[in-house]
Structure 1
């Protein structure tokens, strides 16, 4: 089976490097993990005199998996910080913790990270989701084996009946999990791809195969043919399945049927002999370390080379280096630190044996290796709190004299200092609406509304201003909170991720730019807003082409859905102020560009800037609709972000963007005087404040 594992890892690496999609090799990996590990746990539990202490199989598993994982994760983060700092982020720091504690698959689900081909935007630890699935199922296997051993030894259960019960449980898990994984049909979701519940059937199926007795294997006379068919099924999966989201649903039956055919064909056939050859066995032995190394190296060199996808020559180099590192890791770390002695029986004393081994050179070396592994493990877990502390530091308010930001557009002096916040940390600093649980996120239903206490500004004021829309309006709570406290109004927030406020419901064709849930939420939110009797509603008034949540390089425009909302508000007598959307940043080729990552990569500011006419029409498109009549006004904000036809990454020593298309808290704070300059006449016209004295 080591040869089959070697064949599977070869497909994984080749398809990752040269094809850029899933091969089905990881699915075979999971099946083999169930075959070897879970099958082994259950067979051991049914043997005479098993050790009933669950710590020993857990310790054996830790020694098998953790040393190489800790080494690779710490080495990868070290490489990222040294040569590719643009990859370091809050998300990656959380993935480090998740990888070490074996819940990376669920962390990727929480980060809404679909499985992606190698690129500059892909996490170097993305591939460790499968290690987490295995780790979680290993815990289940240990628990299941322990329970069976308890039943047989302590409760005197018949081993034959216990075996049948175990097979029955595994069969139920396989059927239920497969049904769950297949609920979307031939193409699922990112969550389905990563889910432990969707993946369980692949491991439990492997465990079921481990219970098939040799005399039930496929006929020897045709074993070469069935084994060859199995190899072909595994090999062609990546060629005929175009999307990773097809897994682990019905399509996963192709490679797993192939793996089952190879296993059930036995070892006495020419195909199995090839798989059992020295090169394939060696590849199978180093498969775990090779899997750990190849993906992060591929991502790092892709970033260093500035490639959208890595060229073939670079991919070949990554494979060679990964094979060398895998061999060294397996030889010096993985194999020496794993548990080589048989699992302890009920009357064994493994602690005494371990103490005795410490008096030998190999035993002492293993102890040192264990200490080093522990240090690496703790170092990996320390990264997230360290990074969170740095982000917290970056959240602190900036001195407006040294860092005037948008105030520089009003003539404030700009000292010659390095811009802030740190562009490597700024992506982790979110507006208070999201941080305080007042934002409605994508998975939440259309009936979900912000809590009543999601109010900012002067909480005692009688005047209510509603800030509504998607994530692009969210940062404006920062200046509006300060302005509300200063000028006596409170701000109620109705902000939903990827959801500008629209009306008319999902059936309105104009609302095709948003999801059906968003369209339904808009109608519900409007009813809540009406109950507040707001003095005005503030939202964005333009956007680029594309669906909500995404933007294409294009001049901004007013979608029909926006105009429909403004008409409804006019009919209801609710004043509206529309802010022209901030730029979505693109490079000269029209590809999305995060100006902060551009700066972190070492490029000068001019190379991280964009021509304004790439995203802005010559005039504010909303001005035609929001001209002051019907108590509706537009504010052209383009001059807040772009100067002399150029949209730079920073103005007034303050970085403008949190990412490719959201403005930073720091820059939003500096917009307060510019925003009030535009809002104060509107407030005065609505008699919300005293009118300013007439200019003589």
Structure 2
């Protein structure tokens, strides 16, 4: 295995023979490696179930960036003794911002024309974050927010990788410049001669090595501790850039060739391709598993042969590969909006041959935008002064943000033309309860209020922010609503998951009317149940056990409301014998565990109010469409979003079935909920101008408020029994 300087390429794109030792200015195989990276990302996004690990292409890009940028900065440091930060950033801006801002601007305009109104605000929010290059941190924050866990990807979500790169481009030269300043100061203090080539290399390697080691350790730890956030945050990715940086500093312009060098190059190629094929969304990433594609990238950068057919660098230097590499940045920018928008434009977008045509179109658009937009602006002499580049960048970013805000505001104003409000006597459930006076509750003649976009946003914000504990929060979290403590006569407790939280707008009003405090003890994704509690029990089960005991012993709590989703996981049985006839009611362990709190509080002589599970709309496993989104796409005919009652009954519905089990219990009260949304065999997307759901299973806040008199009537036996 021999080490030689990297070669240049002929005008045709074919590499020069390996034995020609020319100075390194351009490595054509890097463009081929970029082509591989962008193609696996492209195929992954179009066929996520086929190339399940195609996301590793992003990591290949990170290594390449670290390699090229560090090589450039090192060369400048050796030549000038420092790093000219302004010039460096200006070059990066001229290279990256023009096309990215163009894509963001056109995406902002296209989003309000193509996407349903429910997606406009989320898209605008992420367009602003992408323009400011903080998109990765926004996604990391959203990844742990329960209400946004199922939020659909926006058309600019892929900009998170560019945000990570830009943050690296800010951090890296500053860190190296400070290193050079420190070393130069120390040299002057000691009277030693100016820094030499070898000293700078060693210093940079120490900085790179330490930063990369800390980042890798943190990445492994954080990927295990908080995988959703770890995927996006910059500290878990820095080490990938440093791998490329180390390769650039150690190798310089040399590469390992010969038989074994070529073998190692092919091994690196297979490491990238193998991880793209073998990895899945379940692979812990970017912890230690990211070492496979990133080390593979280092091998391809540093090792390979240029012999025709057998040489890995020969293949990567062929004109088709280098052309795709030249357009790879544009391909990456354009492809994701196409993936997001195309299904809204035509249902045919799901067919493989249409996807192939879309990919060809993306490549053609990328070639044109690179040739006629990106390259001319990057080379424009008017932008060569650093200050002009900075001013132009600021103006462009401001244009994108202002245009996005204006587009969304204009379209939202034109779409909000409803003549009905929450105070209307025939609004929401009131129209269903008074069909004789209100006429057809489902005709939608008075329009919709609030708009689908507002309904979707209300779900994410919540009527009472902070009143629901996260699933993994330790201990019991209390939230107090209803009447003021000084005026209250007793307490109503609310126990359950997010499907209990959704009733709070009504329960809060009812508690105030009854001069009761409302104690909220809800937890996201935590089915209200009992069970054996041990040291390894989940936070959910431990909190539930504590709540059962706390409510039982609290004499001020006269009434307990229990509500939950009809969809839940499997879990063990109760912690004790409940005295229920399991065979008569066909009860399994999950049912008995869910009935343990009910039995416990009945024994404690509490009034127990059990809400039946609400219907679940749009339960098609292949669809990510929420009910507000469906209504936004079918505002002229919301009935297209209705469901049959049978299709909305998709879980065990043990709470609904509890009405039969506890039929004879004096202080048990069941509140049916299906008939609040469904009439005969149909469950409705809109009733009385109100959208019924904020997603597919949680009732919308304003629709719940319209039910307050009805819910109060159904709870009256329990409330009057409080004495």
Q: Is the 8 A contact 1:71 1:376 kept in 2?
A: no
Write the distance in 2 (CA, Å) between the matches of 1:77 and 1:592: 22
Consecutive unaligned residues in structure 1, runs of 5 or more: 342-349, 359-365, 510-514, 549-555, 688-696
Shift in Å at residue 101 of structure 1? 2.1
Q: Is the 8 A contact 1:31 1:202 kept in 2?
A: yes
Match of 1:447 in 2: 475
The aligned runs of 1:310-459 (5 Å cut-off) are 310-338=350-378, 353=385, 373-379=396-402, 382=405, 398-401=421-424, 403-411=426-434, 413-414=437-438, 416-430=445-459, 435-442=464-471, 444-447=472-475, 449-450=477-478, 454-459=480-485
Shift in Å at residue 268 of structure 1? 5.1
- Equivalent of 2:271 in 230, 233, 241: 233
1:213 aligns with 2:241: no
> Per-residue displacement from partner, 1:436-494 (whole Å, max 9, x unpaired)?
3222124x52225135xx32345521221112221111122112222233332221211
Write the distance in 1 (CA, Å) between the matches of 2:462 and 2:419: 17
Write the distance in 2 (CA, Å) between the matches of 1:235 and 1:44: 34
Match of 1:519 in 2: 541
Match of 1:535 in 2: 558
Instruction: Give the CA RMSD over aligned residues.
Output: 3.9
Write the distance in 1 (CA, Å) between the matches of 2:344 and 2:144: 18
Q: Is the 8 A contact 1:464 1:536 kept in 2?
A: yes
Q: Is the 8 A contact 1:484 1:491 kept in 2?
A: yes
Shift in Å at residue 652 of structure 1? 1.6
Matched residue SS, 2:493? strand
Match of 1:34 in 2: 66
> Per-residue displacement from partner, 1:60-110 (whole Å, max 9, x unpaired)?
323322222221122123222212226615433332222222222222222
Write the distance in 2 (CA, Å) between the matches of 1:573 and 1:294: 62
Match of 2:90 in 1: 59
- Equivalent of 2:500 in 447, 464, 473: 473
Match of 1:631 in 2: 667
1:484 aligns with 2:517: no
> Per-residue displacement from partner, 1:174-228 (whole Å, max 9, x unpaired)?
2333333334899983323223222221111111111023586424354333323
Q: Relative to structure 1, is the Cα distance of residues 353 and 64 closer, same or farther in structure 2, using a 3 angstrom cutoff?
A: closer
Q: Is the 8 A contact 2:493 2:561 kept in 1?
A: yes
The aligned runs of 1:72-91 (5 Å cut-off) are 72-85=103-116, 88-91=119-122
Q: Relative to structure 1, is the Cα distance of residues 200 and 458 closer, same or farther in structure 2, using a 3 angstrom cutoff?
A: same
Write the distance in 2 (CA, Å) between the matches of 1:161 and 1:409: 81
Match of 2:210 in 1: 172
- Equivalent of 2:159 in 128, 133, 136: 128
Write the distance in 1 (CA, Å) between the matches of 2:141 and 2:417: 24
1:667 aligns with 2:703: yes
Match of 1:609 in 2: 642
Write the distance in 2 (CA, Å) between the matches of 1:456 and 1:645: 36
Greater Cα offset, 397-406 or 587-596:
587-596
Match of 1:200 in 2: 238
Matched residue SS, 1:455? strand
Q: Is the 8 A contact 2:561 2:611 kept in 1?
A: yes
Match of 2:686 in 1: 650
Q: Relative to structure 1, is the Cα distance of residues 46 and 329 closer, same or farther in structure 2, using a 3 angstrom cutoff?
A: same
Write the distance in 1 (CA, Å) between the matches of 2:689 and 2:570: 33
1:680 aligns with 2:708: no
Write the distance in 2 (CA, Å) between the matches of 1:351 and 1:333: 14
Write the distance in 1 (CA, Å) between the matches of 2:460 and 2:337: 31
> Per-residue displacement from partner, 1:622-671 (whole Å, max 9, x unpaired)?
21234362522111111101011110101122111001111111101001
Shift in Å at residue 313 of structure 1? 1.1
Q: Is the 8 A contact 1:457 1:483 kept in 2?
A: no
1:495 aligns with 2:522: yes
Q: Relative to structure 1, is the Cα distance of residues 590 and 537 closer, same or farther in structure 2, using a 3 angstrom cutoff?
A: farther
Match of 1:691 in 2: none
Q: Is the 8 A contact 1:431 1:475 kept in 2?
A: no
Shift in Å at residue 331 of structure 1? 2.4
Matched residue SS, 2:679? coil
Matched residue SS, 1:243? coil
Write the distance in 2 (CA, Å) between the matches of 1:396 and 1:261: 66
Shift in Å at residue 587 of structure 1? 5.3
Write the distance in 2 (CA, Å) between the matches of 1:98 and 1:484: 41
**May I ask how many residue pairs the two structures share in their alignment?**
649
Q: Is the 8 A contact 2:529 2:593 kept in 1?
A: yes
Q: Relative to structure 1, is the Cα distance of residues 395 and 105 closer, same or farther in structure 2, using a 3 angstrom cutoff?
A: farther
Shift in Å at residue 388 of structure 1? 13
Match of 1:346 in 2: none
Q: Is the 8 A contact 2:418 2:446 kept in 1?
A: no
1:249 aligns with 2:287: yes
Write the distance in 1 (CA, Å) between the matches of 2:363 and 2:67: 25
Q: Relative to structure 1, is the Cα distance of residues 192 and 43 closer, same or farther in structure 2, using a 3 angstrom cutoff?
A: same
Greater Cα offset, 29-38 or 332-341:
332-341
Q: Relative to structure 1, is the Cα distance of residues 436 and 211 closer, same or farther in structure 2, using a 3 angstrom cutoff?
A: same
Greater Cα offset, 632-641 or 616-625:
616-625
1:11 aligns with 2:51: no
Q: Is the 8 A contact 2:526 2:540 kept in 1?
A: yes
TM-score by length of 2: 0.80
Match of 2:342 in 1: 301
Q: Is the 8 A contact 2:114 2:345 kept in 1?
A: yes
Matched residue SS, 2:502? helix
Q: Relative to structure 1, is the Cα distance of residues 59 and 502 closer, same or farther in structure 2, using a 3 angstrom cutoff?
A: farther
Q: Is the 8 A contact 2:420 2:447 kept in 1?
A: no
Write the distance in 2 (CA, Å) between the matches of 1:218 and 1:90: 51
Match of 1:145 in 2: 176
Write the distance in 2 (CA, Å) between the matches of 1:184 and 1:658: 33
Q: Is the 8 A contact 1:470 1:497 kept in 2?
A: yes
Greater Cα offset, 415-424 or 188-197:
188-197
Q: Relative to structure 1, is the Cα distance of residues 215 and 139 closer, same or farther in structure 2, using a 3 angstrom cutoff?
A: closer
Shift in Å at residue 290 of structure 1? 0.7
Q: Relative to structure 1, is the Cα distance of residues 299 and 272 closer, same or farther in structure 2, using a 3 angstrom cutoff?
A: same
Write the distance in 1 (CA, Å) between the matches of 2:604 and 2:689: 43
Q: Is the 8 A contact 2:419 2:447 kept in 1?
A: no
Matched residue SS, 2:362? helix
Q: Is the 8 A contact 1:15 1:21 kept in 2?
A: yes
Matched residue SS, 2:37? helix
Write the distance in 2 (CA, Å) between the matches of 1:111 and 1:82: 25
1:275 aligns with 2:316: yes
Q: Relative to structure 1, is the Cα distance of residues 63 and 517 closer, same or farther in structure 2, using a 3 angstrom cutoff?
A: farther
Match of 2:605 in 1: 573
Shift in Å at residue 428 of structure 1? 0.3
Q: Relative to structure 1, is the Cα distance of residues 87 and 70 closer, same or farther in structure 2, using a 3 angstrom cutoff?
A: farther
Write the distance in 2 (CA, Å) between the matches of 1:395 and 1:166: 64
Q: Relative to structure 1, is the Cα distance of residues 161 and 589 closer, same or farther in structure 2, using a 3 angstrom cutoff?
A: closer
Matched residue SS, 1:424? helix
